[in-house]
Amino acid sequence: MKALILGGTSLYGRRLVEKLLAEGHEITIFTRGNNKPLEDEFAAAGVKIIHGDRTKVAELATVLAEPVDHYDVVLDNTAMGGEDVSSAVDLFKGKTGHYILCSSVAVYPDWNRAAPYREDEADLDLVSTTPDEYTGVKKWIASYANGKRGAEKALITNAGDDLPYTILRPAVIEGPNDHTERTWYFAQRLQQGASVILPRADKFPLSQHVFVDDVANFAYAVMQAGPNNKAYNIAGDDAVELSDYLETIHTLLPTPEGASKKPVTIIPVEQDFVDARMDSFPPFFDYSLCVDNSAAKADYGFSPTKMSDWLPATIAWELEHCKIPEDAAAIYDAELSPFLAKKADEDAEVEAAAASGHDA
């Protein structure tokens, strides 16, 4: 199989390239060139590396320069919007037998529905991201969701008969080599005994994840099977409350010699308060976004790894490869100070109300 990967040097993309190599396939990677050590490793194993910016059509078109004029499969792991996909559709129509788009579960409409979403329930209409409705990290996630919705819509609208496709919608991907350090955000704070911010809700929202190897294995299965013009949710079976997720991470962290492990201290805060004070934050919000993975199981035998099996490996890798900043205490204090101040104000209001004989 002659495969082109747009991306391929981070998280599940690198796992997929490793699997393709192990199975003896011919691989080309189109990448920005931000991970030279891994690129050198892949190149030594026979992977063709092409550098470029996929948002620049002329640079993307170099993947079809002579003598290459066709790929059996193209996996688009870097499309972030409709324009990205429209240019890819124009380029690869008639030039590949299977175009695979990596989208996201963010395409679903209501991010706080109790029932898991099926693939046919996606809403590809864009949502408003005006300042009045979304700020801070919530504005970022809405923009990301719009990008993925636009990407899917561009593909479905323009592919026609000349570009057979499959769409992948992974949940939050976690595992070793995660450049986003999402898990590490919490792990480093818990390791240092610092308080952790979580969104306030009636109950802590459910968080659904998927192991990086499971996404790579599923993508490989889709490549092997061929296109069917369908979308698939790729998510683990575990849907856990965020507080339980933190407790699990906490149990996996080593305790300093001669010290007792400090308990997890959570500061519950309103999402709007987070949005107004933090430009970036791990993708954990005051909603639950869960999806049904039964179609992936039925069509491809998808069997996701249990969180209890992949989270220890993730934490072990991060403890070895991720560094706690030298000024971590000052960073944590600065991060927490506005939330602690607000909590103090709230406690003072409760005490004042109690003292005056009114309900808090």
Where in the chain are the domains? 2-342
DSSP type of residue 64: G
Cα separation, 188 vs 315, whole angstroms: 10
Return the amino acid letter for 212: V
| DSSP sequence for 209-242 | EEEHHHHHHHHHHHHHH---S-EEEE--S-EEEH
- pLDDT score, position 153: 97
Does the pTM surpass 0.75? The reply is yes
User: Under 8 Å CB-to-CB from 320, ≥6 apart: which residues?
Assistant: none
Is there a contact between 186 and 195 (Cβ–Cβ < 8 Å)? no
Adjacent-strand bridge partners of 49: 29
CA end-to-end distance (rounded Å), the chain: 67
Instruction: Count other Cβ atoms within 10 Å, centred on residue 93.
Output: 15
- pLDDT score, position 270: 80
- pLDDT score, position 18: 95
- pLDDT score, position 141: 76
Tokens representing 17?
């390239």
- pLDDT score, position 279: 67
Give the pLDDT confidence of 66-96 residue by residue, as tens digits. 788 899 999 999 999 999 999 999 999 999 9
Q: Which stretches in the chain have pLDDT values below 70?
A: 131-137, 201-204, 258, 279-284, 358-360
Question: What CATH number was assigned to the domain covering residues 2-342?
Answer: 3.40.50.720
Is there a contact between 237 and 306 (Cβ–Cβ < 8 Å)? yes
- pLDDT score, position 339: 83
Is there a contact between 173 and 12 (Cβ–Cβ < 8 Å)? yes
- pLDDT score, position 190: 92
